[in-house]
Amino acid sequence: MTSNQALADWVREVATLTQPEKIHWCDGSQAEYDTLVAGMLDSGTLLQLDPKTRPRSYLHRSDPSDVARTEHLTFVCTSRRDDAGPNNQWMDPADAHAKMNALFAGAMRGRTLYVVPYCMGPLDSPFARCGVEITDSAYVAASMRTMTRMGTPALKRIEREGSFVKGLHSLGDLHPERRFIMHFPQELAIQSIGSGYGGNALLGKKCHALRIASHQARQEGWLAEHMLIMGIEDPQGRLHYIAAAFPSACGKTNMAMLIPPQEYQGWKVHTIGDDIAWLHVGDDGRLWAINPEAGFFGVAPGTSRHTNANAVDMLQHDTIFTNVALTEDRRPWWEGLSDETPALDWQGRPYQPANGPAAHPNSRFTVSARQCKSWSDAAERPSGVPISAIIFGGRRASLVPLVLEARNWRHGVLLGASMASETTAAATGKTGVVRRDPMAMKPFCGYHFGDYWSHWLATGARLNKAPGIYQVNWFRRDAQGRFLWPGFGENLRVLKWILDRCQGSIGAHETPVGNLPLHGDIDLSGLDVSHDHIRQLTEIEPQAWRDEMDQVNSFLHGFGPRVPQALHDEREQVAQDLRGLGAT
């Protein structure tokens, strides 16, 4: 089925180990997808939604023990433990292979082995990278068609180039004690067994596009990042692209599909991607980005017409939903979507509030990016798009202002390395617990964070026209616990300030922790936000920031001697400037 001997040999080896009933090489065609769906409908793997209101859309229910990424069962397997770093769980490659070979032995008996060639990024982009996933899940094969450029064209590229990431996946018996996700960066290989959940099973996504790709990127001189990519066009037709990293529950997908507020008529948002960015230094000395994905695998709960109308609209057809609830007339439902009461919960039981949320909190939708109204065909440009600004965000009730500009690239790397969110009582029983998630890559960086930050610094040194780096915080609260900023579409007002700064058209107030907006430079027209709120949103509390720098110091030292000295020096400079501020 292929002229690539290494691929043919690998498929044969896997088939000998896993003993499938038959082998199918995926071509990515519509006919193939329809056949996969028909088979899953017959087996009950998929349920058809109301064809009138949700044409060609389906519900998939995963095993109740298999509903999220299993980070405690996810390993990076490098020959030296320290190369994986304290940010990853490590296993010796030989031990990992032995464990996985035993689990994969006979795992596909009675099943079809699907060979899924795919390309992460535009098919003709020199910055795209290919992979092949072997799986016994029709759900995975169908979803990979949506999430990647999958099929014969990807196989042809693999045959031309000769290289590909090997991904082996089996549902196994779905037992949690026999569920593992192993990454072998030095072999460009992934093995996953015992899970059908997207992040564990769609190996092109987090496993390849971040954990393995971050290793590839360091070797080859680019960056693989957990970032959205969006373009912002003003009424004069000036278009700028930004990349932004946010931890979970911070509105990443909502921002990627942002709808401008009424006061911003003539402004347009161009969605390139909502989750992953591959960044490279262009011949012009600028930073360029491609979105390696072709679809959205988004969290359903909280998605509504108020928070993300573009997402709601794109989910009206040709979508696979996972672990959402159902209404009486077989429409998908989740908390935040409407005031309706669903008929069935995510496990197919009659909905009872005592059983918990109707939709699983991590329920998902899988849909082609092209169905989003704000999607831009610039996502298919082989060169990618030029990045004017990089944004790091988090959820902080205090301390971090609405928007902050890094003084330079090195300071920006410090902002990214120390970014954090605060937990809530519902999640932990304790509020205000700061959890640091550097560059939103804590679960996804495939190697030691110290080396990763060094690579960021080295990348900046290669840029002649480095993008500005910014930190935002949509979640600051007042003394009564109320949000000070309305968020959602109104965030465009902050993004406009960022782009104005990138163009050098406005000034800023310099502080030890970064540059802040001057009075009146964030447009509040038509917005019910007082100048007192803006003052609170943009104020710096020196003692709180001194405490923060002490905590950042401890955090960085936790990664040992591989942390670049330049990052320690930058933190010390901020701390020293803060001490000087306190002395005046």
CA distances from 342 to 64, 333, 355, 361, 366 (A): 19, 7, 13, 15, 21
Q: How far apart, in whole angstroms, are the C-alpha atoms of residue 26 and residue 574?
A: 54
Q: Which two tokens stand for residue 225?
A: 């990042």
DSSP string for residues in 495-562: HHHHHHHHTT-S--EEETTEEEPPTT-S--TT----HHHHHHHT---HHHHHHHHHHHHHHHHTTGGG
Those residues with Cβ within 8 angstroms of residue 465's Cβ, 6 or more apart along the chain or in another chain: 284, 285, 286
Burial group, residue 220, by CB count within 10 angstroms (0-12, 13-18, 19+): exposed
Q: How far apart, in whole angstroms, are the C-alpha atoms of residue 119 and residue 125?
A: 10
**What one-character DSSP code corresponds to residue 466?**
P
Q: Locate all alpha helices (DSSP H) within 53-92, ordered by sequence.
A: 81-84
Q: Which two tokens stand for residue 159?
A: 């045959």
Q: Which two tokens stand for residue 77?
A: 């397997």
Instruction: Please give the radius of gyration of the chain, using alpha carbons only, rounded to the nearest integer.
Output: 24
The secondary structure element, H or E, covering residue 233 is strand 228-233
**CB-based contact 195:103 (threshold 8 Å):** no
Q: How far apart, in whole angstroms, are the C-alpha atoms of residue 421 and residue 443?
A: 14
Burial group, residue 482, by CB count within 10 angstroms (0-12, 13-18, 19+): exposed
Which one of the listed residues 119, 130, 207, 250 is annotated catalytic? Answer: 250
Residue 390, strand partner residues:
243, 469
**CB-based contact 232:492 (threshold 8 Å):** yes
Phi, psi torsion values for 193, nearest 5 degrees: -140, 145
Q: How far apart, in whole angstroms, are the C-alpha atoms of residue 278 and residue 208?
A: 12
Residue 445 annotated to the active site: no
CA proximity to 228, closest of 201, 213, 247: 247
Those residues with Cβ within 8 angstroms of residue 15's Cβ, 6 or more apart along the chain or in another chain: 23, 113
**CB-based contact 549:579 (threshold 8 Å):** no
Those residues with Cβ within 8 angstroms of residue 527's Cβ, 6 or more apart along the chain or in another chain: 261, 263, 486, 490, 493
**CB-based contact 113:15 (threshold 8 Å):** yes
**What one-character DSSP code corresponds to residue 47?**
E
Active site residues: 250
